[in-house]
Each structure stands twice: as structure tokens, then as C-alpha cells.
Amino acid sequence: MAREQGKKVIVIESKETFDKIIDEAGNRHVLVEFYATWCGPCAIIGPRLEQLAEEYADRLLILKIDVDDHEDIAIEYEVTSMPTFLIIKNKVKLAQFVGSNSEKVESTVEKYCGKPDNTNINTNTTTATAKPTPVATPKANPTRELKENGKSVGPSKSVSPESSPTATIEKKLPRP
């Protein structure tokens, strides 16, 4: 059997369950984290995996496999460090990487699954949303100047800040 950790991340309890979930996932992507209960970095990234499970609920399954309990699966995937992550689709390993860098996990998931679906995010969670604002709105010229880290990076061809996600956000919001 497998048990759910929190709401969405599935903790694998047997090789048979892992194989069954991979078989039944079909066209859906599967993110697998190989972890150990004694691994500090594994524990640190756990809450972010829960968030990703919510954000990608319709496109991604997230599984956790304890390497101490399931050494056979760890050997099969040549896991030597924790955490190790895999992306699997249609029973094919698409990517494998090591480390608890949440940005790497996010960018890899986004690469294979696309942008997160904000409709699946729990509305009880407090998140800040910044609306793009133009740096300059010239009257005679329908372009505006874009800035990155306070430096000009060139004109944008978009006139309306609502139609362009390339407006400056002066302050970075902290990640939840």
C-alpha cells in the first residue's frame, strides 16, 4: 500500500505499489523523491513538495520513497545521495537530479509539466499577488521602458500592463 503524506504527496510502502502507480499514471508525470528519515535537506523540501502537489494536482503525481525501507528501488534507479528526484512519464525516466534546491525542483517540474495551475491552489493559503505596473508610459511612443534589477533592459512592444507580464515588480515577494 501507499499512504498519503499530508494531502497530496504519496509515501510508497512497497515496490509493488510503486510499480502499480507508475503503470497507472499513464500520460501523467510522476515526480519521485528518494529520501531518508534522517536526511535534513529531505525534510526541508517536504513542505514545498506538498505545495507543488496542490499546484499541479491535475498533471503530476508526487511520490516519496524511503531509501532505507526500499533499497531495491533505490538501487534500480542508481540513487546514491538524498534527496534524489526523478521525473517519469509513460514508465520512462525523463530526468534525474540530486539536491534539495527547491528552485531546481520547480524549474524541472515546470519544464515537463508547464506552469502551475493556480485554480488548484488552496485558497486558505495566504499568498501575495503583485500586479504588473509599467515603468514608464510615454504618450507619443506606444512602448515603455522595462527594468531588471533597476537597470534598463530595453523597450517593450506591449502598451497595456494587463496584456504583458514583462512589467517591473520592484520588490520580490518572499516564498511561502
Predicted confidence (pLDDT) per residue in 49-103, tens digit? 999 999 999 999 999 999 999 999 999 999 999 999 999 999 999 999 999 999 9
Interaxial angle between packed helices 102-113 and 40-55, expressed in degrees from 0 to 180 and rounded to the nearest 10: 30
Q: Residues with Cβ < 8 Å from 24, sequence gap 6 or more?
A: none
Selected residue with higher pLDDT from 127 and 58: 58
Query: Which of these is catalytic: 39, 52, 67, 87?
Result: 39
Q: Residue 7 has what pLDDT? A: 57
Active site residue 39: yes
Selected residue with higher pLDDT from 78 and 166: 78
Predicted confidence (pLDDT) per residue in 4-19, tens digit? 444 589 999 999 999 9
- Domains in the chain: boundaries: 9-113
User: Residue 31: which of 52, 17, 7, 16 has the closest Cα?
Assistant: 52
- Residue 35 backbone dihedrals phi, psi, to 5 degrees: -140, 175
Q: Residue 118 has what pLDDT? A: 64
Residue for grid cell 500500500 = 1
Rounded to two decimals, the pTM is 0.65
Percentage with pLDDT > 90 across the chain: 59
Selected residue with higher pLDDT from 89 and 168: 89
Peptide bond into 116 cis (omega under 30): no
Q: Which CATH superfamily is domain 9-113 in?
A: Glutaredoxin (3.40.30.10)
Query: Which of these is catalytic: 30, 31, 32, 42?
Result: 42
